[in-house]
Copies of this chain bind each other. A is one copy, B any other.
Amino acid sequence: MDWLDQVQWDANGLVPAIAQQVGSNDVLMFAYMNREALARTTASGEAVYWSRSRQRLWRKGEESGHVQKVHELRLDCDNDVVLLKVEQLGGATGQGAIACHTGRHSCFFQLFKDGAWQIVEPVLKDPQRIHR
């Protein structure tokens, strides 16, 4: 697969992957993919990552139901970072969709303000009720 060989995998066989909400362009989360995760993502149309903590493939939403439907996949100028535009399922639609395991829309909910990281996004769903 030529297009998979063009990706510059790091020493661990991974590339950083940024997931962005289609429409609003909100950055939802950041994770990693290995070759198989990227191949499965394009084959299925749903985001599959590599979990470094669990050392296994991780289909986003496999436990939470918060699947990411991939609308667009891009590669950067150095061929070593991928960007996905996704429709985040789970919770409500659009800004109400939940990407973060904390039950928030986006993982980037801590804003730097007055010399500190401050939580600025609400929990949309109790995380205890997300992860089965």
Classify chain A: how many residues form its interface, as a range. 35 or more
Q: Which of A68-101 contact B (CB under 8 A)?
A: 72-79, 81, 83, 100-101
Q: Are A30 and B76 closer than 8 Å at their CB atoms?
A: yes
Chain B residues within an 8 Å CB radius of A77: 100-102, 104, 107, 109-110
Q: Are A107 and B76 closer than 8 Å at their CB atoms?
A: yes
Question: A6 near B: Cβ within 8 Å?
Answer: yes
Question: A34 near B: Cβ within 8 Å?
Answer: no
Copies of this chain present in the complex amount to: 2
A3: contacting residue among B24, B42, B83, B117, CB under 8 A: B117
Q: List 23 A–B pairs whose Cβ atoms lie within 8 Å, in order of A's numbering.
A: A2-B116, A3-B112, A3-B115, A16-B30, A18-B18, A18-B30, A20-B25, A25-B25, A25-B26, A25-B27, A27-B27, A27-B83, A73-B112, A74-B108, A74-B112, A75-B112, A75-B117, A76-B108, A76-B110, A77-B100, A77-B101, A77-B109, A78-B107
